[in-house]
Amino acid sequence: MSDDDVDLELLDLMRKRWGVGVQDSGPPETKVLENAHFICDNSMDVALDMRSTKLAAQLVLDEMEKREYSASTWSEHELHPKAKDESTVNFIFTMDLLNFSFWSEKSDQDRFAVVYKGRRWTGYWSLVAILQRALEQEIPITNPDFWVDEERCSDHVLRTVFSSGTDEEIPLFDQRVRCLREAGQILEEEFDGSVVTLIEDAKNSAAGLVNLLADKFNCFRDEGKFENKKVRFLKRAQILVADLWAAFDGQGYGEFNDIDKITMFADYRIPQMLHSLGIIWYCPPLENKIRRLETIESGHSWEMQIRGCSIWAVELLRREILKLKPGAKVNAILIDFFLYDLAKEKEKEESEVIPHHRTRSIWY
């Protein structure tokens, strides 16, 4: 190559890294809400009820105000980290990297559970307890450098970290190990081994960080095809951003200038709650399958309709709340957090609600 030749590879690298010569296409967009609207408009087996949505908006608003529900509620739980520093950033990244598939076909007594601080934790909270327990035992489970060191972080060590208080091991153990190893390698190669660097590269954009996660990490690329169109759900990428925002009270590592672009996190608990509120309805064959506790394959049209319609339902619920109280500090994140807590309350009360749909997947 002569001195006058252009190094196209270097130029492309500079454009990607610093935006040199890249045309500004406007603020980042995740397309999750847009795709959810498309799914809802073309859904044949899942429907939304606007009358129930309006009634539920008043109920949700009243309850959120009565409980003084806000982003700070996240940090109030005893298992969530309290420090406002890089250790919490790493904890949240690890937590949401592994935040999937906790449901069990076994009884509540026999299902995967973790005993920690004298209590028995199941579901999502079992994962948070696992991480806290490991850190107390001086196992650096939230350190990306640890994940890629297969001598210190062997599969045997990870089985000990994820050990259960019952005979059932954590679901999808091998996939969780794969997620850790892959993420550690990508962080090392692209972000100097630092989750903070990853966050800083998003330049305070929630949508930008979601897109960055989906672009760089296979295990965050939660997408599918519906009616021959690519659709995005990005549940765990979005909840990572939401958890950062909540944990840091919208400041520091949790400061995002477009946080309201984050949608509801399409999993199985919120659709269950939306159904009990009469907001979401299923066709008889789908409802029967759910009530019979039969598995719906990941990527099946029914599953994507449930997820897409749930995202759009929460968006409509948010709009109805703002009609009731313009200026209310409410977004899809807070509604999702609130409905999740409500679902867990009803579970404890053994209230009559439809079972959640069952899909075994790393996406939620």
Query: Which of 215, 289, 234, 235 shows the shortest CA–CA distance to 46?
Result: 289
Token pair, residue 295, equals: 């598995």
Indicate the length of the chain as a whole number: 364
Q: What is the Cβ-side half-sphere exposure of residue 258, based on CA atoms within 13 angstroms?
A: 17
Does 3 participate in catalysis according to the annotation? no
Question: How many Cβ atoms are within 10 Å of 285's Cβ, its own excluded?
Answer: 10
Give the alpha-carbon dihedral of 76, 356, 162, 242, to 10 degrees. -40
Q: Residue 345, SS3?
A: helix
Set 96, 243, 267, 336: catalytic member: 267
Helix 50-66 crosses helix 332-348 at what angle (to 10 degrees)? 80
CA distance 288 to 279: 18
| C-alpha distance from residue 272 to each of 8, 175, 296, 306 (Å) | 52, 26, 15, 10
CA distance 340 to 54: 19
Q: What is the Cβ-side half-sphere exposure of residue 220, based on CA atoms within 13 angstroms?
A: 25
The DSSP code sequence of 237-277 is HHHHHHHHHHHTTTSGGG--TTGGG-----SSHHHHHHHHT
Token pair, residue 10, equals: 């270097």
8 A C-beta contact, residue 197 and residue 191: yes
Indicate the burial class of 163 (C-beta count within 10 angstroms; 0-12, 13-18, 19 or more): middle
Name the residues annotated as catalytic.
267
